[in-house]
Amino acid sequence: MTRELTWDHCVNVRDLGGLGAIRPRALIRMEAPTRLSESGWAALWDYGVRTMLDLRAADECPPDDAPRPAGITTVRVPLDPVGTPFYEHWVQLDNLSSPLYFPAMLAEHPAPVIAAVRAIAAAPPGGVVFHCAGGKDRTGLLALVLLAFAGATPAEIIADYLVTYDRMQPLYDEEGYPDVLGRMVTILERHETTVEASLTSTVTSLRMPDFLLQNGLSAADVDALRARLT
């Protein structure tokens, strides 16, 4: 199975099926679908997607270039705890753009993560796409949680996380942000860690499904999530 998907005018789309116990077409991650063309939306629909989970705040959401199919349900669960001391601290430290903030987010502000997981568990039949703006940081954090729940290895989660940098770099170049990966690696080096070490530490510290249950997901939600993903 090819996990990489080609949907017109989006560059960072991939199926998480095959990682851990996740089945194909259940869960797809991508960048914001704003640039999707009509044929891109048609490809998304034909792939079986029926729910879009948007992790951005409302003021980050420009209009789509092409209309969404009428049968798509859009759910918004802003993941960043904007306006909190946590957010202000990490904006200064890494602009919430490296895996360095992931463990602190999960420890100090698990509620929005749990809300996003619950939205996936409760989604109507069909595939679920989740995304933020670039499909890298907020999307990467939620992907890590879902993949850890599904039994993916740290190596699988790291590899999936790093794919985004290759897929998004042409868009970063257009926007005047060369070598985004290199700048993120430099941030981690200042804190004497690496992408691999930081993500591995976060993944191995998560106890699943305990993390979800201890932070407000019900046992029924956990069962629904497992059924949806596997």
Question: Would you state the pLDDT for residue 178?
Answer: 86
* pLDDT averaged over every residue in the chain: 96
Token pair, residue 159, equals: 């590899």
Q: Which of 216, 205, 209 is nearest to 111 (CA)?
A: 216
Token pair, residue 5, equals: 């998907």
Average pLDDT over residues 36-60: 97
Question: Would you state the pLDDT for residue 2?
Answer: 75
Question: Would you state the pLDDT for residue 177?
Answer: 86
Question: Does the reported pTM lie above 0.75?
Answer: yes
Question: Would you state the pLDDT for residue 74?
Answer: 97
Look-up of token digits 């951005």: 56
In the chain, which ranges are E strands?
Answer: 14-15, 27-30, 49-54, 73-76, 127-131
The answer to whether the beta carbons of residues 73 and 50 sit under 8 Å apart is: yes
Q: Tens digits of per-residue pLDDT, 171-218?
A: 888 888 889 999 999 999 999 999 999 999 999 999 999 999 999 999
Question: In terms of residues, how long is the chain?
Answer: 230
Based on its alpha-carbon atoms, the radius of gyration of the chain, rounded to whole angstroms, reads 17
Q: How far is CA 208 from the centre of its chain?
A: 18
State the Cα–Cα distance between residues 67 and 109, nearest whole angstrom: 34
Q: Tens digits of per-residue pLDDT, 134-155?
A: 999 999 999 999 999 999 999 9
Report residue 1's pLDDT band, with 50, 70 and 90 as the boundaries.
Answer: low
Average pLDDT over residues 102-122: 98
Domains, the chain, with CATH or none: 14-221 (3.90.190.10)
